[in-house]
């Protein structure tokens, strides 16, 4: 068993497990659109970026190492995530009243969570 620290919370995991999986199991929220349960990481959405041991990585594809320190939020990461979400929303308007996915759309949920307009 390995131990990593995510946002100050010590999490046990298997060494080599993806950081995003560890975070979800430990109750640490890291936004991600491309990494659905049962899927494989695609690095497509780029929203799951974190800082791990001082380097910017995508948590859906970065593997945990014993003693690793991960930060899922910082002013820089938050600003980058907001910019990425705004780009997604350009061709995906948030006026979702007529959409079958309204209320169950991960992009809509994340945009509201990050207060993106």
19-63 pLDDT tens trace? 999 999 999 999 987 755 555 666 778 899 999 999 999 999 999
Residues 6+ apart with CB under 8 A from 82: 114, 115, 116
In eight-state DSSP terms, residue 68 is: -
43 vs 87, higher pLDDT: 87
Is the pLDDT at 98 greater than 70, yes or no?
no
Q: Which pairs with CB-CB distance under 8 Å and at least 24 residues apart come from 15-18?
A: 15/63, 15/64, 15/65, 15/66, 16/63, 16/64, 17/63, 17/64, 18/59, 18/60, 18/61, 18/62, 18/63, 18/64
Mean confidence (pLDDT) of the chain: 84
CA distance 25 to 10: 12
pLDDT of residue 113: 75
Average pLDDT over residues 97-114: 70
- pTM for the model stands at 0.81
- Residue-range domains of the chain with CATH: 1-73 (3.10.20.740), 75-117 (no CATH)
């Amino acid at each position: 068993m390995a131990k990593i620290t995510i946002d100050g919370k010590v999490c046990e995991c298997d060494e080599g497990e993806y950081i995003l999986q560890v975070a979800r199991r430990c109750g640490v929220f890291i936004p991600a659109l491309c990494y659905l349960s049962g899927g494989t990481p695609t690095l497509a959405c780029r929203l799951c970026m974190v800082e791990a041991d001082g380097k910017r990585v995508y948590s859906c594809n970065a593997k945990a190492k014993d003693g690793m320190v991960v930060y899922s939020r910082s002013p820089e990461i938050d600003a980058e995530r907001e910019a990425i979400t705004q780009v997604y929303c350009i061709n995906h308007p948030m006026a979702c009243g007529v959409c079958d996915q309204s209320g169950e759309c991960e992009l809509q949920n994340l945009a509201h969570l990050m207060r993106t307009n």
